[in-house]
Amino acid sequence: MRANQLRGQAVCEYCEAQGFLTLANVVDHIIAHKGDEILFHDPENLRSLCKKHHDATKQREEVHKVVIGGDKDGTPIDPNHYWNK
């Protein structure tokens, strides 16, 4: 499953949103599965990230319940940010 995800989406989703091309090396569960086998094996619940974004940005997002980062123009990528309302 990991190999298929990285083959299909080889670039880090967060880096790409910011206008960079970084090879992804971590497969992340978008919604934490917390032991749910169906959610764990759901390919629609996977995304490719670089290690930096998985270990730092993704963890901060889960704790603070926000999407961290901006696009190449500096606009926040969090759809709930007041600039995007």
DSSP H stretches of helix in 1-85: 2-8, 13-17, 37-40, 51-52, 58-64
In eight-state DSSP terms, residue 47 is E
Do 74 and 82 meet the contact criterion of CB atoms below 8 Å apart? no
61 inside domain: yes
Count of domains for the chain? 1
- 0.75 cut: is pTM over it? no
The confidence band for 72, taking pLDDT boundaries of 50, 70 and 90, is confident
pLDDT tens for 2-30 read 999 999 999 999 999 888 999 999 999 98
pLDDT at 7: 97
Looking at the domain assignment, is residue 38 inside a domain? yes
Whether 82 maps to a domain, the answer reads no
Tens-digit pLDDT profile for residues 32-68 = 888 999 999 999 999 999 999 999 887 777 776 767 7
Distances (CA, A) of 8 to 21, 46, 55: 15, 11, 21
